Structure 1
Amino acid sequence: MWTVPKPRYRPGSCTEGEIAVNIGGVRVILFGDVLNRYPESRLAELLTCSSQNYEAILSLCDDFDPCRKEFYFDRDPDAFKCIIDVYYFDEIHIKNGICPICFIKEMEFWKIDQGVLDECCKSYLSEKEEELKEISSKVKVILEDLEVERCVTRSQKCQRFLWRLMEKPSSSLAARAIAIASFLSILVSAVVMCVGTIPELQVADADGKLVEHPTLDAIETACMMWFTAEYVLRLASSPNKLHFALSIMNVIDFMAIMPFYVVLTLTYLGTASMMELANVQQAIQALRIMRIARIFKLARHSAGLQTLTYALKRSLKELGLLLMYMGVGIFVFSALAYTMEQSHPETLFRSIPQSFWWAIITMTTVGYGDIYPKTTLGKCNAAVSFLCGVIAIALPIHPIINNFVIFYNKQKVLEIAAKREVEMMEIKSSPKMERRKSKDQASATL
């Protein structure tokens, strides 16, 4: 049964001021005074339309029975049950099992404005629209990989081949080998950067200072040459170079490459007096530290890291709540600890800002032990602080994990949907291709 109390299901003709509609085999009689609440809707127009004007009636419905004065619509009756809610409740809810995109088309057919949708349904609709956009973008990428006819000139074909070779590991065996080589280069470069800081593996230069071993320096240089060649080839083959340069991952790639050449320039092209400046030496050390940015290049080769990044973006609200809980707790417990520990002659809490460090390591259950309470009240305050810290950290963890799982499963579903959409497009286009071939063969025989 429908939730709306006023539509009546009964045979026979309708009385004055009523309208009989047949929605996909379901006959309903609606009251005219209710339909006139939305005079611009299709049902209200049918109410005011004369039964003698047959052409005008057929422009509003699919068929009309003048004997029974019944209007027939070849539409979904389940969707219509939601549509008529607007006449009685001034709002519409999309029921479960109805596609929101198809329901919007139903609303457009019945000439109902989308503003009457309830807020929960609007958010659900916007989510589905975002999913469709993601599917269409994935379909576009797949189609771009499959299309070769658009590359008419030799330079375009070479650019397309190079782009797929550098950006699409699944396109060929060579592209997969390049992706694996890039992944291994990132790992080797990170390991060399860490191993190069071991004093036993360092050598002394002419001034007696310890520097990286020449072998490790050579491996580092080889990795940077690979990163540079990879970045240049990707930039040269990119169809949209501005979008490529401003992409987050490509900015990280550039930031991982740039320090190497800046240090090389300052070291080998700078004058001796210039290199003795403390500021220049500090700049070189800072640029060497920036080499850690290359570890983020792994995200370009790992779908899991990309999914984690997107999931954290979706969990900004939960992360904000976590930081707010921790901030309030740090301020409260550090102030209490400072106050309670003032009575002890050997107190380690010299000020409230200094107590912030104790509150941070206590609430996060790290507990270095460099600062600790010595009074009984201070120890009780510490016990309460790390219990509250555990609770504050544990509360937002489940929503963050849930967002990650939902987003990860959603991406897998969207990828499958995009592949199926491409397969359906190929199936639909195959008869046309066969007709074209038959026409070409017929014209050739003639």
Structure 2
Amino acid sequence: MAVGIASPGVAGVNTVEALVKEAVSHDLPKKRILPQSATAKKIIINISGHNFVSTVGTLLKYPESRLGKLVQKEPSRANYFFESDAEIFREVLNFYISDELHCPKNVCYSNFLLHLEFWEIDTEAVSNCCFQDMSEEKELDRQFEYFNKKLKPKIKNADGDYPKSYYVWCFLTDPFGKDTKFKAGAKVYALCYFLLTIISGLTMAIYSVPSLWSETGGLTRNDSAQLFSLDMSCEEYLAQWIKGAPKSATNFGYVTFIFAAEIWLRFLTCPNKKQFWKTIHGVDMIISIIEFVCFALTAPVVMIILTDLDRYPESDQLCVSSMVASVIRIAIGQARYFRLFSYAYVYSGLKILLITLYRSWKEILLLVVLLAMSVLIFGPLVYFSILNTVGQGLPLNSIPSAYWFVLVTMTTVGYGDMYPTTVPGYLATVVVMIMGLTITALPIAIVGGNFAVVYEHNKKRERAESDRKQRDKLSP
């Protein structure tokens, strides 16, 4: 935005100038009535070719604004030129006249706020009808910027450059960042890490296939239930979990060490160790620590006890603890999928999902509370409505089982594993169905509305970013 000023050479300028200086030289209230000779002077304001006419008195109603300061500084001037948005300025000028500031309907709120900053008008002057929308827009911008926030060193080296560790951090975590060197290599590394995360997660699926647990394939799906037992002896642990485990599951330990080395390298090169724990990288670190503790509990049993069972005849409890630690280590490794959420800065759809969930956490909590209350209320109602059928072999034969039936019915899942067989039971179930539809529909509708708001705001941001890049290309 630029401003130019032209002198009109109007007769009697000195008299008007003196009156204006006298009017603004005291601590005036915002709406003081000025002398007619001063307020009647016309001011022509050209906004990118569109002329607007006002008076000195109107502009001096807000002397701390840009136009008010210009009139005070050079009251003899009558023509002003600005490169700005004429539609927004129309509302700005209307603010001087009526003391009400509104945002044009087809103007982005962020753009409107930038123009208010240029015209030096406080955002608190925005009318209540528009302020709420602007506040929501600012909150959305803040939430989107949270995902674009990058950790940077607070100080630079003596030569004015960042430490080398920072560039390693960028290589590991931000392949598209402007500070990342060797972007091609960083993108290849990010892709390999992504694929390795997926493959390591699929290892658990392979780990659960019974036919892969031994060379003969003797373990059937029914026998697989015996692979996990708190009464297991060391001999059974050795046969089932060590010798019978497939190579794909054994290699899972090597993958764990690769992830552990990578996350510790990220931690050591992170420019802000405190902020590190507030990001998704902190989740990765906690997962690696838990895996390391589980490995520390398992390794002594595997390397010492199981190699000489005759020497440690009373070590069955340690073997069970080792088995439990192995299960925890494999299961907690699945939480590494959370690491994929860090790619939200690349894929906008994932960013929209995360922001929607964040904005809707109150509604989701409300849904959980309402469902819990309904289960507690309607569970006994359903149970007592079929009380005369208890003992006849039907699965719905206790209040806890009625809780499960009510929860499945209210969420419209309907497994069919439990069902009423009496008229009172039918009536009670109808009430549960209607309440379930009502309770689940209301919060979910709000979540859907939040998704639409976030989606539209993301489209605005993408259009604005695209326009900015286009202007940068065209600018010399």
Residue 263 (structure 1) aligned with residue 294 (structure 2): yes
Counterpart position of 1:371 = 418
Cα gap change, 1:195 to 1:248, in 2 (>3 Å): same
CA drift at 1:175: 1.5
CA drift at 1:64: 3.7
Match of 1:276 among 317, 321, 335: 317
Counterpart position of 1:6 = none
CA drift at 1:295: 2.3
Match of 2:337 among 271, 295, 316: 295
Counterpart position of 1:79 = 92
CA drift at 1:427: 8.0
CA drift at 1:275: 7.1
The alignment yields a C-alpha RMSD, in angstroms, of 4.4
Match of 1:322 among 345, 367, 371: 367
Alignment partners' CA distance in 1, 2:147 and 2:52? 40
Residue 159 (structure 1) aligned with residue 165 (structure 2): yes
Alignment partners' CA distance in 2, 1:232 and 1:155? 24
Alignment partners' CA distance in 2, 1:140 and 1:252? 18
Residue 407 (structure 1) aligned with residue 425 (structure 2): no
Counterpart position of 2:219 = none
Q: 2:140 touches 2:454 (CA, 8 Å); kept in 1?
A: no
Cα gap change, 1:135 to 1:421, in 2 (>3 Å): farther
3-state SS of paired residue (2:72): coil
3-state SS of paired residue (1:276): helix
Residue 219 (structure 1) aligned with residue 251 (structure 2): yes
Q: 1:256 touches 1:292 (CA, 8 Å); kept in 2?
A: no
Cα gap change, 1:274 to 1:169, in 2 (>3 Å): farther
- Output one character per residue of 1:189-248: Cα deviation in whole Å (capped at 9) or x when no partner: 11112211223222499713311625124421232232123213322332223322x133
Alignment partners' CA distance in 1, 2:470 and 2:150? 14
Q: 2:44 touches 2:80 (CA, 8 Å); kept in 1?
A: yes
Q: 1:163 touches 1:238 (CA, 8 Å); kept in 2?
A: yes
Cα gap change, 1:58 to 1:28, in 2 (>3 Å): closer
- Output one character per residue of 1:405-427: Cα deviation in whole Å (capped at 9) or x when no partner: 44245345435645765776798
3-state SS of paired residue (1:179): helix
Cα gap change, 1:375 to 1:125, in 2 (>3 Å): same
Residue 183 (structure 1) aligned with residue 211 (structure 2): no
How high is the TM-score relative to the length of structure 2?
Answer: 0.65
Residue 383 (structure 1) aligned with residue 424 (structure 2): no
Alignment partners' CA distance in 2, 1:169 and 1:288? 29
Q: 2:409 touches 2:432 (CA, 8 Å); kept in 1?
A: yes
Counterpart position of 1:444 = none
CA drift at 1:378: 1.0
3-state SS of paired residue (2:43): strand
Alignment partners' CA distance in 2, 1:386 and 1:252? 39
Counterpart position of 1:19 = 39
Cα gap change, 1:160 to 1:219, in 2 (>3 Å): same
Cα gap change, 1:191 to 1:281, in 2 (>3 Å): closer
Which amino acid counterpart does residue 61 of structure 2 have in structure 1?
A: L
Match of 1:251 among 282, 286, 289: 282
CA drift at 1:182: 0.9
Cα gap change, 1:80 to 1:220, in 2 (>3 Å): same
Cα gap change, 1:139 to 1:415, in 2 (>3 Å): farther
Alignment partners' CA distance in 2, 1:423 and 1:413? 15
Counterpart position of 2:134 = 125
Q: Identity rate of aligned residues, in percent?
A: 23
Counterpart position of 2:236 = 208
Cα gap change, 1:305 to 1:140, in 2 (>3 Å): closer
Counterpart position of 2:12 = none
Alignment partners' CA distance in 1, 2:391 and 2:279? 51
Q: 1:104 touches 1:114 (CA, 8 Å); kept in 2?
A: yes
CA drift at 1:124: 2.9
CA drift at 1:357: 1.6
Q: 1:336 touches 1:381 (CA, 8 Å); kept in 2?
A: yes
Which amino acid counterpart does residue 257 of structure 1 have in structure 2?
A: S
Cα gap change, 1:104 to 1:308, in 2 (>3 Å): same
Residue ranges of structure 2 left out of the alignment (5+ in a row): 1-15, 17-33, 46-50, 83-88, 215-226, 228-232, 306-313
Counterpart position of 2:402 = 355
- Output one character per residue of 1:85-123: Cα deviation in whole Å (capped at 9) or x when no partner: 32xxxx5433334543145337745xxx65443334333
CA drift at 1:312: 0.8
How high is the TM-score relative to the length of structure 1?
Answer: 0.68
Alignment partners' CA distance in 1, 2:171 and 2:118? 45
Q: 2:44 touches 2:52 (CA, 8 Å); kept in 1?
A: yes
- Output one character per residue of 1:263-291: Cα deviation in whole Å (capped at 9) or x when no partner: 22112236756773456654554344322
Cα gap change, 1:61 to 1:103, in 2 (>3 Å): farther
Counterpart position of 1:333 = 378
Q: 2:295 touches 2:326 (CA, 8 Å); kept in 1?
A: no
How many residues are paired up? Answer: 382
Q: 2:367 touches 2:443 (CA, 8 Å); kept in 1?
A: yes
Residue ranges of structure 1 left out of the alignment (5+ in a row): 1-12, 36-40, 47-55, 66-70, 145-149, 431-446
CA drift at 1:379: 1.1
Alignment of 1:29-40 (within 5 A): none
Counterpart position of 1:311 = 356
- Output one character per residue of 1:308-367: Cα deviation in whole Å (capped at 9) or x when no partner: 222111122432443354345434432431332234454765665552221101111223
Cα gap change, 1:281 to 1:191, in 2 (>3 Å): closer
Which amino acid counterpart does residue 200 of structure 2 have in structure 1?
A: S
Which amino acid counterpart does residue 294 of structure 1 have in structure 2?
A: R
Counterpart position of 1:173 = 184
3-state SS of paired residue (1:374): coil
CA drift at 1:166: 1.5
Q: 1:266 touches 1:275 (CA, 8 Å); kept in 2?
A: no
Match of 2:387 among 325, 342, 345: 342
Q: Which has the larger displacement, 418-427 or 323-332?
A: 418-427
Cα gap change, 1:107 to 1:338, in 2 (>3 Å): farther
Which amino acid counterpart does residue 72 of structure 2 have in structure 1?
A: L
